[in-house]
Amino acid sequence: MPILLFASFEAVTGVPEWIGYLLSFVLGACIGSFLNVVIYRVPNERSLMTPSKCPNCDEGIKFYYNVPVLGWLILGGKCANCKEKIAWRYPAIEFLTGGVFVLVFWQIGLTVFLPVALVFASVMIALIFIDADHMILPNVITYPLFVLALIVRIALPMLPGHEMFSDTRIAPIVYLHTAGYPDWLVSLAAGLFGALIGAGSLWLVGAIWKMLRGVDAMGLGDVKLLLGIGAMLGWRLTILTIFLAAFTGAVAGIALVSRQKDRSLQTQIPFGIFLGIGSIAAMLFGDRMIAWYLAKFI
C-alpha cells in the first residue's frame, strides 16, 4: 500500500464494515459500466458522452437496462429491440471492476487515498482491455494518469491528515526529510524519482533488446504508462510492478507460443495487460510482499 495511514470504514463512520464492501462493489460495477464505454470508444476517438446504443440496430439502450450486470441478466444477454446477442464481456468487466473495488477498499480503507486508488485501478482496468483489443495504450489516458499522480503527490501531504506515501520513508528519498525540505516537495521528488526509475528501466530494456535482436520489444506506450505508475507508487513498488508484469507476461507468453503451430517467438504480447495487473497488485499488497521478501532472503 503506497500510503502510510490505514483507517477502517467502521471506525470512521460507525457503519458496519460489510456495508462499506457492498457500496464498494456497487460503485465498482457502475464504474465498470463506464469503463466498457471507455474501452470501446477511446481507441476509436469517439465521444464518451453520447448515450449507449446497440451496435447492431442502433437503438438506444433504456436507462433501466443500463444497471450494471443485472441489466444484462434481465435481458438474457440480448438486445431488447433486435435480440442480437450482447457480449458477456460487458457484464464481466462490470463484475470485475466491482471485485477490484472491494479489494482496494479492503486494503486501503477509508482514507484520502481511497478515491485515488479507485481511479488508479479503474484506469488500469481500461488500459488492460484496450491493450488486449488494440495493442495500444492511448496517450489520452497515460499522460493524464501521470499528471494526476503528480498532483496527488503534492496535495496529499498538504491535506489535514498530512498523509505521506510509503516510499518517502525509504532511502534514497529519506535524506530529503533530514535536509528539512517541506513534505510536499519530498513527496513530489519521490514521485518523479519513481517515474524516472519506472519509465527509464523499461526504456532501457527496450533499447538493449533492440540492439541485440533488431526489433522493437515494447511500445513507447508501456514507457509512458510507467511514468504514471512510477509517480503514483514510488520506485520500489514500481520495480515490483515490472517484475510481476515480466513474470506473469512470460508465463502467458510461453503458454501462448506453445499453443501456436509455427513456433516463431515474434508473437507480440501486449505488455500493458501485465503492467496493469502488476501495478494493482503492487499498490495493494506490494509493501507487504517486499517486507516478506527482505525478511526471508536478505
Binding site for Zn ion (CB under 5 A): 54, 56-57, 79, 81-82, 84
Given a contact cutoff of 8 angstroms between Cβ atoms, the answer to whether 114 and 166 are in contact is: no
Minimum Å gap between C-beta 55 and Zn ion is 8
Instruction: Name which of 57 and 251 has its Cβ closer to Zn ion.
Output: 57
Instruction: Name which of 11 and 57 has its Cβ closer to Zn ion.
Output: 57
Minimum Å gap between C-beta 63 and Zn ion is 16
Instruction: Name which of 86 and 137 has its Cβ closer to Zn ion.
Output: 86
Spatial distance between the Cα atoms of 223 and 265, rounded to a whole number of angstroms: 22
Instruction: Name which of 79 and 239 has its Cβ closer to Zn ion.
Output: 79
Cell numbers 506453445: residue: 258
Instruction: Name which of 8 and 56 has its Cβ closer to Zn ion.
Output: 56
Minimum Å gap between C-beta 43 and Zn ion is 22
Minimum Å gap between C-beta 58 and Zn ion is 7
Minimum Å gap between C-beta 57 and Zn ion is 3
Instruction: Name which of 66 and 81 has its Cβ closer to Zn ion.
Output: 81
Q: Write a three-state SS string for the chain.
A: CCECCCECHHHHHCCCHHHHHHHHHHHHHHHHHHHHHHHHHHHHCCCCCCCCECCCCCCECCHHHCCCCHHHHHCCCECCCCCCECCCHHHHHHHHHHHHHHHHHHHHECCCHHHHHHHHHHHHHHHHHHHHHHCCCCHHHHHHHHHHHHHHHHHHHHCCCCCCEHHHHCCCCHHHHHCCCCHHHHHHHHHHHHHHHHHHHHHHHHHHHHHHHCCCCCCHHHHHHHHHHHHHHHHHHHHHHHHHHHHHHHHHHHHHHHCCCCCCCCCCCCHHHHHHHHHHHHHHHHHHHHHHHHHHHC
Minimum Å gap between C-beta 68 and Zn ion is 19
Minimum Å gap between C-beta 34 and Zn ion is 21
Instruction: Name which of 79 and 141 has its Cβ closer to Zn ion.
Output: 79
